[in-house]
Amino acid sequence: MSIGKAAGSNADAEAAAELLLHDGGNSIDAIIGGFLAAAALDSATLFAPVGIIVAGVGRGVRCIDGRPLQPGAGQRRPRGVAPGQATPIAAFAAAPRSLAALAIAHTYGANKAMSMLARPAVTAARKLGSEARANLLSMFATRGPRVLQQSDVERALLAAGGQSAGGMLGAEDLDDLTPTDERATLFTLGHDTTAALPSWQPDDGGTRPGDVTRREHLRSSEVLVAADANGTVAAIAWSPDTEGVLVPEFDVRLPADAAPVLRGVPRVAPKSPRPSALPLAVLSRPSDGWYAAIAVSARGDLQPGELRLDGGALAVLLDELAHVERGTLALGASVTRGKVQSLRVPGRR
């Protein structure tokens, strides 16, 4: 009998998560190992914007904001790109916090060492022929997020997104990439049900002057949810940028989410999180010991009003969410008194 279940929009991530759950891992192991499995096969995943939410009996609901940061910390403001001047791709390179987000999630009670969670990903990258990416994954497994400050890694990142390439990424940007770790915002939905949402939902208040990116809209995300019989649910969302800034030495891409400095326009403050679509939520009924993690791909955010169960089943809610926007895939994993279920609603494309 399985002690947990997982569901994901990425088949490789879901398979790795399920394998970990069957091999003594918990839901936290599952989402970390699943993400690393996806990162092994895709250059845009390892440094992608990441959001993680973990909840369960006796632990509350915690959110880890792993969105990348605006670069340029400790540097004088450059002259900036003049009107009509081509903007180098390096100017969009943001400072990644994904590895630090995984490290914090791991401290929430993972059963397995990070080296064990990363081992299948290292093997998969090597089978794919990406020895450089496999080496970076292996270094992360042993050194954690401080691998970005290792001399050869730092040198490669700055060569791709630093001043010599026309970007703003500097050593100080890589020195402190600690994600925000906070309690979720709680909303009462009725029928003894509570929704917990992270604070990184996209800001609809408009774009500030100078906050220019390469895209008019946020990229959609990949999502993975897991639940275990210990009463813990976890979810991770990441937004890979297939057109991001290539770091050839390690066969990975930095997300091109930074706002370039424009001549004559105030620049976006360094170290500020960059907007990303990372739609996650947790529903709970404390009186029943019932928790459910929800993640929805191809969406910018989730709103409390969309999450009402009103006595209905989780599958019904997911189906409604999947119908809100064309191409959406809704996933959920829940646990009630040790009984675990996973659900998925195929996207309509």
Residue 20 lies in a domain: yes
> In angstroms, rounded to a whole number, what is the distance separating the alpha carbons of residues 156 and 144?
18
Please calculate the CA angle 115-121-127 and round it to the nearest 5 degrees.
130
Q: Provide the domain count of the chain.
A: 1
d(CA 234, CA 236): 7
> Binning pLDDT at 50, 70 and 90, where does residue 137 land?
very high
| 288 within a domain of the structure (yes/no) | no
In a domain, 298, yes or no: no
- With respect to residue 148, please indicate whether it lies within any of the assigned structural domains: yes
Q: In sequence order, what are the residues at sequence separation of 6 or more whose Cβ sits closer than 8 angstroms to the Cβ of residue 75?
A: 163, 168, 170, 172, 270
- Residue 247: strand pairing partners: 252
- Has residue 229 been placed in a domain? yes
Residue 297 lies inside a defined structural domain of this protein: no
| Alpha-carbon span 274 to 96, nearest angstrom | 10
For the segment 32-77, what is each residue's pLDDT rounded down to a tens digit?
999 999 999 999 999 999 999 999 866 789 999 999 999 999 888 7
Residue 218 backbone phi and psi in degrees, to 5: -70, 145
In this structure, of 106-120, 135-149, 193-207, 216-230, the range with the lowest mean pLDDT score is: 193-207
Residue 177: inside a domain: yes
Q: Check: CB of residue 297 under 8 Å from CB of residue 278.
A: no
Determine, yes or no, domain membership for 68: yes
Task: State whether the Cα torsion 299-31-105-160 is positive or negative.
Answer: negative
- pLDDT class of 328 with cuts at 50, 70, 90: confident
pLDDT at 263: 78
In the chain, % of residues over pLDDT 70: 93
* Angle subtended at Cα 96 by Cα 130 and Cα 208, rounded to the nearest 5 degrees: 135
pLDDT for 22 = 95
| Helix, strand, or coil (residue 94) | coil
Mean pLDDT of 226-249: 95
Q: What is the pLDDT of residue 300?
A: 83
Per the structure, the complete domain to which residue 220 belongs is given by 4-184+211-276
Return mean pLDDT, the chain: 90
For residue 205, is pLDDT > 70? no
Predicted TM-score (pTM) of this structure = 0.94
